[in-house]
Amino acid sequence: MTVAINCEEIGKKLQEVFPGSVVSTGKADILVDANMLQQVAGFLKSTAGLDFDYLTFLTAVDYLEYMEIVYRLVSLNHNQSLILKTRCYSRENPVVPSVVSLWRAAYYQEREIFDLFGIKFDGHPDMRRLLLWEGFVGHPLRRDYL
């Protein structure tokens, strides 16, 4: 069984290494500060015992007050998983650091989120629309679209 890793433990550990990075820990997920995302993600990927080398899905959810980006990380060696979340509060110019340099799996998924939610990923090599055409106006998966 792929075991969902104990989020409280890992949250405490992250808070020790990167003070101020963890906003809150839920039952099955950790919410981190967007500014610290890159460091936290790098730590989760390269620390022995965690080894989250496999990013399965990456998506966004629009809650109107903020938009939440959800990452599900899996460690193939230890067969454990973790859901990592981050939020951005701006609707006019939402920016979140990109994780393409850590997991190439994010390449198309970040482009898709940019296309459908309008969230820019800072550091992505090719931030363009993926599914819709270039002249399209708006970001359809936002809840206030239409």
Partner 1 sequence: MAIRTEPFYLNIGPQHPSTHGVFRLRVTLDGEVVVGLEPIIGYLHRGIEKLAETRTYTQNIPFTDRLDYLSSMTNNLAYCMAVEKVGAIKVPERAEYLRIIFSEIMRISSHMMAVGFFLNDLGAMMTPVLYMWREREKIMDMFEMVCGQRLLYNYMRIGGVSQDLPEAFMPAVKKFLAEMPRYIDEYDQLLAQNEILLARSKGVGILPRDTAIAIGASGPVLRASGVKWDIRKMDPYSLYDRFDFEVPIGDSGDCYDRYWVRMLEIRQSVRILEQAVAQIPEKGPIRADVPQFFRPPRGEAYGYIEAPKGNIGFYIVSDGSIAPYRVHIYPPTLINITALQDMVIGWKVADLIIIFGSIDVVLGEIDR
| Out of 20, 42, 138, 140, the residue judged to bind partner 1 by CB under 8 A | 140
Alpha helices for 2-146 (secondary structure H)? 7-17, 37-46, 106-117
CB-nearer residue toward partner 1: 12 or 104: 104
DSSP-assigned beta bridge partners for residue 87? 68
Cα–Cα dist 127/58, whole Å = 16
Instruction: Classify each residue of 74-107 as buried b or exposed e, where b means 16 or more C-beta atoms within 10 Å of its C-beta.
Output: bbeeeebbbbbbbbbeebeebebbbbbebbebbb
Cα–Cα dist 94/16, whole Å = 28
CB-nearer residue toward partner 1: 24 or 57: 57
2 binds partner 1 (CB under 8 A): yes
Count residues near partner 1 (CB under 8 A): 28
| Out of 42, 76, 90, 122, the residue judged to bind partner 1 by CB under 8 A | 76
56 binds partner 1 (CB under 8 A): yes
Comparing C-alpha atoms, which of 131, 103, 88 is closest to residue 38?
103
Task: Name the one range near partner 1 by CB under 8 A: 15-23, 35-43, 70-78, 89-97.
Answer: 70-78
Q: Which of residues 92-121 bind partner 1 (CB under 8 A)?
A: 103-105, 107-109, 116
Residues lying near partner 1 in the complex (CB under 8 A) are found at: 1-2, 53-57, 59, 61-62, 70, 72, 76, 79, 83, 103-105, 107-109, 116, 130-133, 140-141
